Amino acid sequence: MRHAHGPRPADADRLLWRLADATAGLSGLSLYRAVVSVLATTLDTTFVALTFRPPETRSAADGTPVAIHARPDGTASVRPVPTILGVPGTIVFDGVVHPCVGHLRALHPLSGDPPAADLRLVAIADDDGTPLGEIAVFFAAPAPAPGIVEVIAIFARRVAVDMRHTQTEVELNRLAMTDPLTGLANRRAFMGAADREVRRARRFGDVLSSMIVDLDHFKHINDRAGHAAGDQVLHRFAEGMTRTLRSIDIVGRIGGEEFALLLPGTPLAGAMLTADRIRGTARSVALPHAVGLPALTISVGVAELHPGDASSDAMLGRADAAMYRAKRGGRDRSIAADPPDAIARDAIG
């Protein structure tokens, strides 16, 4: 095999073929581990590390980088790169504090046994130059053999392609599960979360409440102010509602102006208090300047999980029925759903 500057040295060729063989068919962490392990066992190194941000946190400013590192025996491990001793982005490895350098915090040991004589950083970057991570190789002797860094760069590009593919999959999954107007979970995502929360509540014997929220007279907003204004109201309400909830609460938009909520660890009485707070939030939403638009109000149905519920559908169905009772009762109110046994008695009677 040849490159732009003539034949590749034997050491570089050996590294190339070992990397190609070890990484064939791999992706994700398995690929990254293999690259790091081969570099550690093939080259005369004291430390090898590959750092990157997981795809789900890569767009977040505080996304914690992850380091895959290996010693010369090839043993690779994965650890987050946390804040240690007040120094952002550091990691302790074998008792040595490693401050991070480079764009995504490649690891540079301050000391070691033996110390690194030559540090080489190879960027993992997108085709457009967007940095995704780095490979840091600490050579035991100065000046690695010719062609070695070039081979590392070849596999850094392969890792970059894999990272971008993973990022694309994560983004597509996020879009498929997100309501584009409000940024909340869509119906599919919410129902999946509801099933998981029901299973969790049953497993740990915990309480779980749910809500169905519907904006009152929303059609009037669309008719008088236009659909763009209606979309703005939905967005503002969703933002305000989210601010009233805890981080563990789950909220989704399941219809045009209909929302659903899950409140883990919250009994019916507590959920009713939350519903009243959300009603207050609705009234504070700024409406478009249009003649004859009253303050925004909502109707809320609240239900608690019961032992006899076969699935989340039963609990949410009771909340939905209670919401329609709130509509029929004059709107702008919260109503607690009857327990399943009371509904059954009413049906019989």
The domain spans of the chain are 2-175, 187-348
The domain made up of 2-175 has a fold known as Beta-Lactamase (3.30.450)
Q: What is the pTM of this model?
A: 0.59
Q: Which residues are CB-contacts of 343 (< 8 A; sequence separation ≥ 6)?
A: 318
- 255-281 burial code (b ≥16 CB/10 A, e <16): eebbbbbbbbebebeebbebbeebbeb
Q: Give the pLDDT of residue 124.
A: 83
User: Taking the CA of residue 234 as centre, how many other CA atoms within 13 Å lie in the half-sphere pointing to its CB?
Assistant: 26
- Looking at domain 187-348, which CATH architecture does it have? 2-Layer Sandwich (3.30)
Structure letter (DSSP) for residue 104: T
pLDDT tens digits, the chain, 349 residues: what are they? 334 444 456 789 999 999 999 999 888 888 888 898 899 889 888 778 787 766 544 443 344 556 666 656 656 565 554 433 333 333 333 334 344 433 333 344 433 444 456 777 788 888 777 778 788 787 877 778 889 999 999 999 998 888 888 877 777 777 788 999 999 999 999 999 999 999 999 988 999 999 999 999 999 998 888 899 999 999 999 999 999 999 899 999 999 999 999 999 999 999 999 999 999 999 999 887 765 778 999 999 999 999 989 899 999 999 999 999 999 999 999 999 988 765 544 544 4
- Taking the CB of residue 325, how many other CB atoms lie within 10 A of it? 16
Tokens of 160: 């970059």
Residues 148, 30: Cα–Cα separation, whole Å: 22
* Torsion, CA 108, CA 112, CA 117, CA 119, rounded to 10: -20
Q: Give the pLDDT of residue 138.
A: 79
Q: Do domains 2-175 and 187-348 have the same CATH topology?
A: no
